Amino acid sequence: MSRILLVEDEPAIAEAVTYALRGAGYDVDHADNGTEALAAARDEHYDLMVLDLLLPGTPGIEVCKTIRAESDLPIVMLTARDTEGDRVTGLDAGADDYLTKPFSVLELVSRVRALLRRRDLDRAGKDIVRIGSLHLDIARHSATLEGKPLRLTVSEFRLLQLLASGPGQTFTRESLIKHLWESDFVGDRRAIDVHISNLRRKLETDPRNPRRLLTVRGVGYKLVAG
């Protein structure tokens, strides 16, 4: 079970986020100030931190900078501010993702899942990911299908890498877009359909009747062994 450190000084928000994350299967500890958060992060092992920007004691930005200087712990930063400058400040401090209050706790859980999945994949960057006869070499950014090289664009490989991180798991268009562009801006959802169509031409014998890269109607896509 992944362990998450929630750093939030507003009791109502802390309670709602804790409830949602625990409901999603995570073990959650809570700190309500920056000083306590730094001590907890150093004394315990956590897989991710959800960190409020505006905290009593040590500010969230300083907590983020300190943690980032000491480890690669994924950090989702929360803030009541809604300007591009604040977002850039948070990301420059080392945050991996950013949500502005008020936010949907379901959206936060989705971001947490995506970050943990990406971290697992990077660690598994363990070199080779195998889904049936499809092999991805993460370190070399290359892929083969039935032993033959696949010519993939950077975006196609990144999409395939995420899909391969959860074989048989359905990924929404929004989660694929956010993973691809690493942005909160979703834009035209049809853009992801174009990338999927291009991938199918490279993965499928008959792209009109796919066996590997499947559509889950009304939800998104999933990758199976085929």
Say if residue 119's pLDDT is above 60. yes
- pLDDT tens digits for range 85-108: 666 677 777 787 888 888 899 999
CATH number for the domain whose boundaries are 3-121: 3.40.50.2300
- pLDDT tens digits for range 56-68: 889 999 999 999 8
Please, what's the b/e burial string for 99-119 (b: 16 or more CB within 10 A of its CB; e: otherwise)?
bbeeeebeebbbbbbbbbbbb
CATH number for the domain whose boundaries are 126-223: 1.10.10.10
Query: Residue 122 has what pLDDT?
Result: 58
Report the percent of the chain where pLDDT is more than 70. 88
Query: Residue 127 has what pLDDT?
Result: 72
Among 24, 30, 38, which Cα is nearest to 9's? 30
Please, what's the b/e burial string for 158-191 (b: 16 or more CB within 10 A of its CB; e: otherwise)?
bbbbbbbbeeeeebbbebbbbbbeeeeeeeeeeb
Tokens 């490989």, located at residue:
157
Say if residue 120's pLDDT is above 90. no
Query: Residue 182 has what pLDDT?
Result: 61
Please, what's the b/e burial string for 53-67 (b: 16 or more CB within 10 A of its CB; e: otherwise)?
bebeebebbebbebb
Whole-angstrom distance, CA of residue 87 vs CA of residue 132: 40
Say if residue 221's pLDDT is above 90. yes
Q: Where are the domains of the chain?
A: 3-121, 126-223
- pLDDT tens digits for range 171-207: 988 888 777 766 555 445 666 787 888 899 999 999 9
Q: Is the pTM here over 0.75, yes or no? A: no
Query: Residue 62 has what pLDDT?
Result: 94
- pLDDT tens digits for range 136-168: 988 777 899 999 999 887 778 888 988 998 888
What angle in degrees, to the nearest 10, is found between the helix axes of 34-43 and 60-70? 20
